[in-house]
Amino acid sequence: MSKFFYRPVVGIDVSADFSVVAILAPDGEIYRKPFKIMHNRNGFDYLVDQIKKVEKEFSMKTGIFMESTGVYHLTLFHFLKDTFETCILNPLITNCNKNGDIRKVKNDKKDALTIATIGKFQNVKYSSNFDVEIYTLKSLCRDYYKFTDSKSTFKKKLSTDLKVIFPSYSSVFSDITGKTSIAILKAYSSPEAVLNADRDDVINLISTNSRKGLAHSENTYKKLYDAAEEATYIGLKSPSLFVKIINTIAIIEALESQIGNLLTEIQLLMNSNRIPDEFKKNVQLLYSIPGIGQLSAITIMSEIGNIKGFVKPKHLVAYFGLDPSVSQSGKFNSDKNVMSKRGTRIGRRALYAIALASIRKNRNGEPINRVLLNFYKENMHGKSKKVGLVAIMHKLINYIFSVLKNQKEYELRDPKIHSKMYLNNKSSHAA
C-alpha cells in the first residue's frame, strides 16, 4: 500500500510552458477539476496557494507527483521540494497505467489524474532527491559527450571530402585532424596550392607543428607533393569543395575549444566546495578501479547520483540498460534477447569505454585489469566481441556497486581467492 493512501495527492502533468494539475482528496475522489498553471511566478504561487488550501482543509500533508519530462519539470520540482513532499515518477511507470480504459483518451487533464492516482494507490518507486550542482555536473558531462560525438561526425566529413579532392592525403598524415595536418590544410586547402607553394615554407610549417627533425619534414613534404600531383590527375576540381574543407576545419576547431571549456568547468566544479564531500569520495572510489579515468568516474557517479537508491547490483544493471529484454510466450522462449537499453545512455557509453580499457594492456605489456582480461579470454570463446564486452560491463557494475556500498577502494583479487574469502566470511556470520 502506498504511504499516500490516506492523504490528499496532487498529480502534475508537466509540459514546456505550462502544467495541468489534478488533486485527489484523502478518500480518492477528485477534489476539484484539473486546472492549468503557467510556468511563471504567478502560476507557481497559485499552485502553492491551492496546495496549502487542501492541506488546511483536511489537516494533512499532501503528496505531489510529477513525471520526469526531460528538463521541463526541474524548475517546478525545485520550487516545490523544500515546502512539500514532492516526488518524480519514471515515465515508463505512468505510460504503463495510461491504457486502463477501453476507450482511448489522451489529454493533459487525464494524464494529470492518472499521475495522481498512481501516486495515491500504487506503491511505486519514485525519486525526491535533487542537487543543483550534481545536476549541473551531469549536464556538463553529457554536453562533453555530445560535443565529442559532433566532432567525430565532422572528422568523418573531412575525411570523406578529402577522399574526393585529395585522394591520397590520408597516406601522408595518419591523423588528418592532427596539428600538422590541420596547419597544412588551413594554409593550402587544395592540391594546386600545395604544388604552387614554396618548398621551404611548407617544410618549415611541417617542422614547426610536428616538432620533428628536418629529415622527417622533408620526407613528409615529398609524400605530400606526390599526393598533390596525383590529386590533380584523379581528384575532383571545384573551388566550392575547397571551401567545404576550410568550413569543416573551423567547426572542428570550435568544437575542440568548447570541449576544452567543458573539461575545465567540470574540473573547477569538482574542486569547488559546491560539490558534496560524499560525492567527491565516491568519485575517488570509482577512480580506484583499473580502467576508470577521472572523467569516466565523474560521469558515472553523476549519472548514478545517490547509490542508496539501488538495493542490489542488478538494480544498477537495469539502470544502465544492460538487463536483457525477455521475449517468452507459451512454449516459445526466444534465445535472441538483447539489452533493454532503457537506462542512462551516457552512463552506458562511459561504461563501454571502461570495458574496452579494462581488457587492454599498458605499453609495457602489463594488463590494465588482469582479472577482467583473463575472464574475457577464458569465457568468450566462440562469442562475438560485443557479447564479451557486455559481460565485462556487468562485472564492472558489480565492482562499482561494491566499492560504493562498502565505501572501500577496489582490490584486485584472483577470483578463486575472492570466492574463498566470501565463503569464509559467510560461514563466520552464520556461526
Q: Give 87's pLDDT tier (boundaries 50, 70, 90).
A: very high
Residue 422 clears pLDDT 60, i.e. is over it: no
Residue 98 clears pLDDT 80, i.e. is over it: no
Query: What does the DSSP assignment read for 318-381?
Result: HHTT-SBP--EETTEE-S-PPB---S-HHHHHHHHHHHHHHT-B-TTS-BSSHHHHHHHHHH-T
Give the predicted TM-score (pTM) of the model. 0.83
Question: CA nearest 291: which of 352, 355, 347?
Answer: 355
Q: Give 143's pLDDT tier (boundaries 50, 70, 90).
A: very high
Residue 89 and residue 111: Cα distance in Å, rounded?
13
Cβ atoms within 10 A of the Cβ of 386, count? 10
Residue 64 and residue 76: Cα distance in Å, rounded?
11
Residue 285 and residue 64: Cα distance in Å, rounded?
35
Written as nine digits, the cell of 113 is 489524474
Residue 102 clears pLDDT 60, i.e. is over it: no
Q: Give 190's pLDDT tier (boundaries 50, 70, 90).
A: confident
Q: What is the mean pLDDT of the segment spanning 98-102?
A: 58
- Cβ distance 114 to 11 under 8 Å? yes
pLDDT of residue 31: 93
Q: Is the dihedral of CA 92, 97, 101, 106 positive or negative?
A: negative
Residue 254 and residue 251: Cα distance in Å, rounded?
5
Residue 106, SS3 per DSSP:
coil
Residue 178 and residue 188: Cα distance in Å, rounded?
15
pLDDT of residue 303: 93
347-380 core/surface letters (b: 16 or more CB in 10 A; e: else): bbbbbbbbbebbbeeeeeeebbbebbbebbeeeb
* Packed helices 385-406 and 294-304: angle between N→C axes, nearest 10 degrees: 70
Residue 194 and residue 165: Cα distance in Å, rounded?
13
pLDDT digits (tens, 9 = 90+) for 284-295: 999 999 999 999
Q: Give 30's pLDDT tier (boundaries 50, 70, 90).
A: very high
Q: What is the mean pLDDT of the segment spanning 374-401?
A: 88
Q: What is the mean pLDDT of the segment spanning 216-223?
A: 93
Tell me the pLDDT of the chain averaged across its residues.
88
Q: Where is average pLDDT lowest: 33-37, 102-106, 121-125?
A: 102-106
Cβ atoms within 10 A of the Cβ of 287, count? 18
- The set of residues, in sequence order, having a beta carbon less than 8 Å from that of 108 and lying 6+ positions away, is 13, 15, 20, 34, 36
Number of Cα atoms under 13 Å in the Cβ half of residue 198: 4
Quote the distance between the C-alpha of residue 378 and its chain's center: 30
Domains of the chain by range and CATH? 9-130 (3.30.420.40), 135-266 (1.10.287), 276-327+338-430 (no CATH)
Q: Give 326's pLDDT tier (boundaries 50, 70, 90).
A: low
Written as nine digits, the cell of 148 is 565529442
